[in-house]
A and B are shown apart, each in its own frame.
Chain A
Amino acid sequence: MSFLTVIDFSSLLQYLITGLTLGSIYGMTALGFTIILNSTGVINFAQGEFVMLGGMMSVYFMTALGLTEPVAVVLAVLGTTVIGALVERLAIRPVRQSPAINLVIITIGVSILIRGLVMFFWGKDTHVLQSFSGDTPIMFLGAAIMPQALWVLGVSAFLLVGFKFFFSKTLHGKAMLACSFDVKAASLVGIGVERMVLLSFMISAFVGAVGGVILAPITMTSYDVGVLLGLKGFAACILGGLGNPFGAAAGGIVLGILESLGAGFISSAYKDALAFVILLILLFAKPSGLFGQKDSKRV
């Protein structure tokens, strides 16, 4: 553990690449949190489990059913989307009228349930998923980039652009945004609020599962990877300003980079703690997050 290592360019670049890769996943998880938060006002603490399910279901489809990787991956994402819909239909919709805090606690229960079921049926072992385009690193200015990292960055960027388009140009996207602004007004203009809530859960599960599937070849997957990922995704959400999708993605990337730089230059043993310490410091300075609006109420 040395406080002042020689800061050479290739090491710095390596930390940045690692940080960017992980940060993209935190950003995608944070995006999932934001989508549900925006349309229901609920923080879905089972978001981390959607990420876990993406990876674990892919492994299951490949090992137990012998499917090829592309097929398994697509099925896993679709399967998790269905599970997202089930969560909304069975756990959220029946108690829709409860205060938000009840719903948040229910999502915590759902996350424990999903984790327990995966552990029961698929065991506690760690599993490997093959990288999509091999493991030979691409050397770039002294730093090594894994092909899988390029997949992560590429897919994340694609999803972000897609969602920007969805929320600003399509009718469904605009309807979901309307629900987040004012539920009563939205239903008055004919928007099926219940259907929007279902859609938001499905989209969040989809985003989470995609993140899980592209991350699993890099970090391996097991039944409990969702816990820490969900927590960091939530932290990224807060970092970027709760409720702001662009902030969520940016917050994720910032968190990933800061964590990687901290592990490289300060201490590798306290890597996880560093992420949360940074979050705390930032919130003391700017409580509404990097890109959040200051809370205001109409009088």
Chain B
Amino acid sequence: MNRGKSLFLVIVLLFFCATAWAETIKIGAVVSVTGAASFLGEPQKNTLLQLQDLTNAKGGMDGRQVELIIYDDESDVNKCVMAARKLLDQDQVAVVIGPSISGNTLAITRFFSSAQVPLISCAAAEKIVFPVNPWIFNTPQLDRHAALKILQDAKVKGYTKLAILTVSDGYGQAGRAVLKELAKAQGFDLVADEVYSPKDTDMTSQLTKIKGVSPEAIICWGTNPGPAVVARNRMQLGLTIPLYMSHGVASDKFIELAGEAAEGLILPAGRLTAVDQVPDDHPQKTVLTDYVANYSQKFNAPISSFGGYAHDAFLLVHEAVTKGGSANPGDIRDNLEKISALPGTSGIYSYSPDNHNGLDEDAFIMVIIENGTWKVVP
């Protein structure tokens, strides 16, 4: 009997030790792997999975293994809501990364405030972080930063009359609002304000109208394939008015679609777009080269700035957990706000209680498309 009791005790003790060893840090993620926003979510999912493996191979975060629970919201807001609920209620994660798009993010923010779990979104709408919700953060550069960068370049070139051509979806209209506000504030004359639909295959009417008011530059704000059509139509109409694009097309796919028409176009882009041209002494250089090397080695796909948003979110969680020594949701939130000057792929992050985006317009560089590749504008 005595031997039986002690054997039982040993087994129970071993069981407790095992569970203590098995205690992982649960990080949830909901991204749009399929659906209209799959160009965002697929690289984000790949990046997160790879980072999980790399982190665990190096001993995990704060000595504990990372368990990534990732759901696909299929670019659909209802599925996103379901996934968020599941992560919070069933999986009981410590922090959530994502969603990929602004509409989905805004739909789930209230769950995180009430569950008191931090959310680091990979979407860029201003509404996500202004006004600041203590539990909601985001990693991409804001539309405002991109618009400021473009207008900076326009001012340097001496343009005063601008035309804008935006897509009618959430991204385009957010850009339009910011452009109108900033152009007016900086004294530009907005002579045309045209809109096109996401599925439009011909923008010659809009461009003809713009041509009629002779602007000194056109700013096109949208995501593929629309801006490629705009670029091609501009060439087909024989126009030479300088054309700016938004960071939404800072991908090789745009150059592929627009072909010859992409030559000479200027846009703001994250430094991931032209890693080789980033000076070696730039604080972001190491993070950038590591990400590019790891990603292209494992996945046979070109590097994407959008995947970088998820990379940075994971990096921020890593920093918060390691520096703070805790994986409690509340502690992670507090420690995120203490992060200062952390180099990521999209920029150098400095969070604070009233800044949950962490970036400014220096997170962007201006690039020009020359000979089918990106060239940094000095």
Contacts and interface: CB of A to CB of B under 8 A. Distances in A.
Given A137-B238, A225-B201, A269 B196 contact: yes
Interface in A210-229: 218-220, 222, 224-225, 228
A11 interface: yes
B212 interface: yes
A125 B224 CA distance: 9
A219 B201 contact: yes
Interface string B1-39: 000000000000000000000000000000000000010
Interface in B193-240: 193-197, 199-206, 208-209, 211-213, 224-225, 228-229, 232, 235-238
Contacts of B209: 5, 11, 264, 268
Interface residues of A, number: 32
A14 interface: yes
Contacts of A5: 209, 212-213
A129 B93 CA distance: 47
A263 B197 CA distance: 12
B211 A11 contact: yes
Contact of B205 (A1, A124, A260): A260
Contacts of B238: 137, 139, 144
Interface stretch (B101-109, B121-129, B251-259, B353-361): B251-259
B257 A220 contact: yes
Interface in A121-174: 124-126, 128, 135, 137, 139, 144, 146
A139 B30 CA distance: 51
A15 B168 contact: no
A135 B197 contact: no
A220 B201 contact: yes
**A5, A11, A18, most chain B CB atoms within 10 A:** A18
A126 B228 contact: yes
A3 B201 CA distance: 23
A128 B257 contact: yes
A14 B208 contact: yes
Contacts of A219: 201-202, 229
B65 to A, nearest CB: 35
A139 B238 CA distance: 8
B230 to A, nearest CB: 12
A126 B202 contact: no
Contacts of A126: 224-225, 228, 257
A15 B197 CA distance: 18
A225 B237 CA distance: 23
Interface residues of B, number: 35
Given A126-B225, A228-B199, A269-B196, A263 B212 contact: no
A124 B257 CA distance: 14
B193 A263 contact: no
Contacts of B196: 268-269, 271
Nearest to A145: B236
Nearest to A262: B205
A8 interface: yes
Contact of B202 (A125, A128, A139, A218): A218
A260 B224 CA distance: 22
A23 B132 CA distance: 50
B260 interface: yes
Given A126-B224, A126-B225, A135-B235, A269 B208 contact: no
A6 interface: yes
B299 to A, nearest CB: 16
B202 A146 contact: no
A76 interface: no
A22 B197 CA distance: 17
**CB-CB nearest 6 A-B residue pairs:** A219-B201, A263-B205, A269-B195, A126-B225, A264-B205, A144-B238
Interface of A: 1, 5-6, 8, 11, 14-15, 18, 22, 124-126, 128, 135, 137, 139, 144, 146, 218-220, 222, 224-225, 228, 260, 263-264, 268-269, 271-272
13 contacts: A8-B212, A15-B205, A22-B202, A126-B228, A128-B259, A135-B232, A222-B225, A264-B208, A268-B195, A268-B203, A268-B205, A269-B195, A271-B196
Given A11-B212, A137-B237, A271-B205, 11 more contacts: A5-B209, A14-B208, A126-B228, A128-B257, A128-B259, A219-B202, A222-B225, A260-B204, A264-B209, A269-B194, A272-B197
